[in-house]
Structure formats: structure tokens, C-alpha cells
Amino acid sequence: MKINGTPYRTIWPTAGNQAVEIIDQTKLPHIFATLRLENMRDTERAIRDMQVRGAPLIGVTAAYGVALAMRGNASDAALAEACSVLLASRPTAVNLRWGVEKMRALLTPLPERERAAAAWKEAARIADEDVAINAAIGKHGSEIIRASYQNKDGQRKNSTVNILTHCNAGWLATVDWGTALAPVYTAFDAGIPLHVWVDETRPRNQGASLTAWELGQHGVPHTVIADNTGGHLMQHGMVDMAIVGTDRVTARGDVCNKIGTYLKALAAHDNGVPFYVALPTPTIDWTLQDGVKDIPIEERTPEEVTHISGWCEDGQVRSVLLTPVNSRAANYSFDVTPARLVTGLITERGVVAADAEGMRALAI
């Protein structure tokens, strides 16, 4: 999508395919900076330190990481090491495993001398495939937004479609378009008047820093709110639908996403507001059923709760302590929204209900 009028992706090969470049997402929204990743360890660090984040982008970055590893040494041992290092960089994201295993499966049978070129080509193909998948999610999801704006005869029934989103499942979380925000961009570019309520998404504030930034750069009207606010807005008819992304969906449609998603789904359900989850189908983990019981929830450092960083009046990005020095904090990164609270899953193959029938349609 656009940054200050110029089209960008979140990851791209340098001229001559010597390295890949990314947007350093830890610096947003205050500083827009790109970063050059020269080797596999650079990609592992970028994933671990969340300079790239978002399930699809992590998968693509890992694929490029394998490709970078193959340039210097394409032995079986080097391939095994690259896969193992990259798989350990973030524990929860199923797309990370998917991207790495896809590379391993492709490269293992090839002779060493062919691996580097094949790996690079495959990583680029995975990136392009992500863009195509998200564009398709955008197309299907935008029809839901259009249906909220006008009826089938094209007559207007809503002056502005208000959409609530949580965390960042925008184009910054993918290679382009995003998952939850792909329908928003598609509908916006088609001229449908809309406005996005952006949950700030504590503790890492990906909503306030990333979602607000990318919507603003593309020109989409939006308002940042504290995570506590969505229920009140829904009680007062100020939200027409919620659309969120996901890190993992179980075979029965339970949705693991950023901590706090479950609370918004409860509020949507209590107020008759449609609650959609946008995802590429590889996000579905067919080995799991009961998400609340079966999905391990990543615990991150308490410092993400006790501290926050932002732009200080003196022009520095500074971290400040929010809590008493001796108070403990806990930092659970994800929660699970049971399928019963989800109105529909927006996928590249169309929109399905989060129930047995809908999941069967995606399993075929």
C-alpha cells in the first residue's frame, strides 16, 4: 500500500538479489526507516525483535532467511541449522513453521549447487502468493463492507461504515494489503465511505503505532481508542462490524489472536455487531480443535506492561515506567475467541461461517 503517496511492500529483494530490505516496524510510527538484512541471522533477529511481525510477514521473512543461508553454504547441515534457528525465533506463529517447512521440502531433494537460486525464487514466489491471497481476502471482505453501505440495488443505507479492528493485521503484518485491513483498503479504494476504530492494543500498542500509521499513510479515516472502549461504542451503535486478523485458527474455528480480541468478540456478540476474522487458509491448524485448551499462549517479558515507549518532546523516542517499582506484571500475548462468537471467516477462498460446515468447505 502507500507511504506518503508511494507504493511499498513490507519486504523486498535488493537490486541484484544480494540481500532483502524491510521496514523497521519497531521504529513506527515515529520514524520511517528501512533495514537491510544480509544473512540468515539478520532475518532471525528481525523476527525475534519484531522488526517484522504479523504471521504472514514472519513466514515470508523466514523463507528469505533460508534463501540467504543457502547463498554461502547450501549443505544439508546448513539447511537444517537455518530451519532450526528460524523456527525458534517466535513460538506461536503457525505461518513461520509453514514458510520454513515449505523451503525445507523444496530444497532437501535438490543438489547443493541448485539450492541457492531455487531458494531465492521460492521465497519471492511465497511473497507474491501472500500478496495474491490478501488481495483475494480484500475482495471478498469488501463485499461485506459494501453490503453494510448499500443494499443490492446500490441504494445507500449507511452514510459511513464504522469498522473496529484490534492490533495490526494490516499490510505491515503481511507483504501487502494485510488480512483484516485488506477489505478496508479494497472498499476504501472503491470509494465506499468508511472509518476505522483502532484499538491501541496494549501492551505493545501495535494498533496505535502501526495500524493508525498505515491507515493514515493510505488516507483512510480512523480514530485511535483505548482497548477498553469498544464495548461502549458497540452499545451505542457506533460500530457496524469488527474485523480482526489471527495467528492461528483451529479445525473447529476457534481463533487465536492478540490478547483482548476475545473481549471485543464478547461485546460484538452482546450487541449484535458482526465479528469477522480475516485469514489466509494456511493459518488454520487442522491438528487442533479446542483453542482455549489446546493453543499454548506465549508469555512475553513483563517489561512490555510495566514500560512503554513513545516520542518525547525533546525529540527522542524514550521508554517510561508506568507502574510502581516493586509491582509485578504479567504479559500474556494472545487469547482465544471461541468459534461461537465469530460471525464469519474471511479467506482468500471466500467468506465462511466459523462452524463445522464452514470449516469443511475450507478443508476440501
Binding site for its own copies (CB under 8 A): 29-30, 198, 200-203, 205, 208-209, 212-213, 215-216, 222-233, 235-236, 258-260, 262-264, 266-267, 270, 292, 297, 305-313, 317-332, 334-336
In the bound state with its own copies, the residue whose beta carbon lies nearer, of 90 and 166, is 166
Nearer to its own copies, 31 or 363 (CB): 31
Q: How far is the CB of 235 from its own copies (least distance, A)?
A: 5
What Rg do the C-alpha atoms of the chain give, in angstroms? 20
Instruction: Give Cα separations from 351 to 183, 285, 294, 354, 357 (angstroms).
Output: 12, 18, 25, 9, 12
15/163 Cα distance (integer angstroms): 39
Cα angle at 301 between 283 and 255, to 5 degrees?
Answer: 25
> With the C-alpha atoms ordered 323, 203, 227, 255, is the resulting torsion angle positive or negative?
negative
Residue 66 CA to residue 62 CA, distance in Å, equals: 6
Smallest gap from Cβ 265 to its own copies, in A, equals 9
In the bound complex, what is the minimum distance in angstroms from residue 23's beta carbon to its own copies?
14
Nearer to its own copies, 252 or 307 (CB): 307
CA 236, 245, 55 angle in degrees (round to 5)? 155
Residue closer to its own copies, measured from CB, 281 or 333: 333
| C-beta closer to its own copies: residue 105 or 226 | 226
> What's the closest the beta carbon of residue 28 comes to its own copies, in angstroms?
8
Q: Of 125 and 318, which CB lies nearer to its own copies in the complex structure?
A: 318
Phi-psi region of 5 (alpha: psi -120 to 50; beta: other; left: phi over 0): left
For the CB of residue 342, give the shortest distance to its own copies in the complex, in Å: 14
Distance CA 93, CA 85 (A): 15
Q: Is 153 a catalytic residue?
A: no
Report, in Å, the least distance between residue 333 CB and its own copies.
10
Please pick, among 227, 240, 247, 254, the residue that the annotation labels catalytic: 247
Q: How far is CA 38 from CA 67, 84, 112, 195, in A?
A: 11, 19, 20, 39
In the complex with its own copies, which residue's Cβ is closer, 70 or 164?
Answer: 164
Give me 307's grid cell.
Answer: 514500560
Q: Which residues contact 346 (CB under 8 A, 6 or more apart)?
A: 137, 140, 141, 144, 179, 183, 243, 276, 277, 278, 279
d(CA 360, CA 190): 32
Cα–chain center distance at 100: 18
- Would you name the residues annotated as active-site residues? 247
